[in-house]
Amino acid sequence: MLPQRPRSSTSLAAFVITCEEEPTTGARLSFDQLTAYLQGHDDYLILSHSDPDGDAVGSELGLLWVLRALGKQAFILNSDACPLKLRVFDPDGDLHSLEDGDPVPPELGQKILILIDTSDFQHTRRAREVLLPFGREVIIIDHHTPPSQLPCPAYIDDTAAASSQIVFLLAEAFRLTPDLAAANALFMGIVYDTGSFIYPKTTPVTFRAAQQLVEWGVSPKDIHSALFETIDPARMRLLARVQSSLKLVHDDRTALQIMTYGMIEETGAAPEDAENFINYPLKCSTILVSVFLKEVKPGFFRCSLRSKGTVDVSGLALSHGGGGHRTASGFPCPALPLAELEGHLLQSVLDLYPKD
Ligand SMILES: [Mn+2]
């Protein structure tokens, strides 16, 4: 472990003034500024976006381990509970959530809140009202394309394949060797966000992280099994129902699947069981964009988009109040009858293709 810097009582704003000289509330921190800041402060509350996914969970658990290894007080409190299948990565039950009834700490005002894997307070659901306004400071660690105005100081590496990859680099910078549970969490987050090392942001750094994590004891097969070989029969039935809705349109360039709330009820599956269904149509050679309309609550649809990369689907999501990357994005749908919604979305996707 590196020698600890003396604990600083300066606020992040002052810290940023020292380092950057042009402070704004949304200043971008360099990696060195981030490591110095984490070393120089104490008492952290880590949180991530709503519907925490593999990378949210992996990066939070990894960061928790890193901060505690630095001798800091830290804990995790998300808005939403950890999805069941990811709980195996949290053997000590560190993923607390407001949804599970875990309390807001009374000394919240002394804590530094670290929001990881999103730069958007809107994506934190209840935390936006009950946590984020009341911490001592909030900083962001993220790998998504940042909004034009950041809500607070942020370390953002949008070339990183996963937030878990950033946390790996933090562990490495602090010369820490995570224990097996933390290493498993980080490897899982990277596998999750890279689609098992194939998405465009998978780089040599990603493989270096993976190599080191395997050297620290991670079994790729165990991570794969825990993530991808856990489908229960209800989910298999839901998959069959959703795939029966599959349509190929726009000269077979666009795939559309629809999951109604009725399908969820009939199969006894949960909405999150539909995760990854969107990727299936990308196996088709001509498909450039896969669209998945999900009725996650009765009458409430979300749209997810996946692109093989030739078309950028982030703008369409942003213009509907959502977010994401060039190849993966999503947004809440406007309240329209399903047929109208489908027509509107397909036209919006068609507009993304170059006109010839
Ligand atoms: Mn991520």
Q: What pLDDT score was predicted for residue 271?
A: 84
The whole-number pLDDT of residue 115 equals 98
- Tokens of residue 246, six digits: 């599959």
Q: Which of the four pLDDT bands, split at 50, 70 and 90, describes residue 194?
A: very high
Sign of CA dihedral 259, 260, 262, 264: positive
**pLDDT, greater one: 219 or 325:** 219
**Measured between alpha carbons, how far is 218 from 8 in angstroms, rounded to an integer?**
36
Expressed in angstroms and rounded, the spacing between residue 240 Cα and the centre of ligand 1 is 28
342-348 CB contacts, 8 Å cutoff, 24+ apart: 342/256, 342/258, 342/293, 345/256, 345/291, 345/293, 345/303, 346/249, 346/250, 346/254, 346/256, 346/291, 348/316
Calpha distance 222→227 (Å, rounded): 9
How many secondary structure helices (H) and strands (E) does the chain include? Answer: 12, 12
Res. 26 pLDDT band, cuts 50 70 90: confident
Checking if the pLDDT of 37 tops 50, the result is: yes
Instruction: Please give the average per-residue pLDDT across 38-66, as a whole number.
Output: 97
Domain with CATH 3.10.310.30 in the chain: 233-350
Ligand 1 centroid – CA 51 distance (Å): 12
- Between the CA of 192 and the centroid of ligand 1 the distance, in Å, is 8
Mean pLDDT along residues 48-72: 98
**C-alpha to C-alpha distance for 183 and 12, rounded to whole angstroms:** 29
What is the enclosing helix (H) or strand (E) of 64? helix 54-69
How confident is the model at residue 230, as a pLDDT? 84
- Identify which of 173, 213, 171, 172 has the alpha carbon closest to the alpha carbon of residue 189: 213
At 115-133, the pLDDT tens digits run 999 999 999 999 999 999 9
Q: For the domain bounded by 233-350, which CATH number is listed?
A: 3.10.310.30
* Lowest-pLDDT range of 9-13, 58-62, 166-170: 9-13
Tokens of 165: 């990859």
Percentage of residues in the chain having pLDDT higher than 90: 86
For residue 336, the CA-to-ligand 1 centroid distance in Å is: 30
pLDDT at residue 304 greater than cutoff 80: yes
Quote the ligand 1 centre to 114 CA distance (angstroms): 15
Is the pLDDT reported for residue 330 higher than 50? yes
* 193 pLDDT higher than 70: yes
Q: How far apart are CA 229 and CA 233, in angstroms?
A: 12
252 CA distance to ligand 1 centroid (A)? 30
CATH 3.30.300.30 fits 12-228, yes or no: no
Q: Where in the chain is the domain with CATH 3.90.1640.10?
A: 12-228
Task: Please check the confidence at residue 12 and state whether its pLDDT lies above 60.
Answer: no
How large is the average pLDDT for residues 46-52?
A: 97
- pLDDT band for position 270 (cuts 50, 70, 90): confident
pLDDT in tens, 164-174: 999 999 999 99
At residue 265 the predicted structure's pLDDT band, cuts being 50, 70 and 90, is: very high
Q: Cα of 117 to ligand 1 centre, how many Å? A: 5
Ligand 1 center to 27 CA (angstroms): 21
pTM greater than 0.85 (yes/no) = no
Nearest alpha-carbon partner for 231 in 44, 85, 78: 85
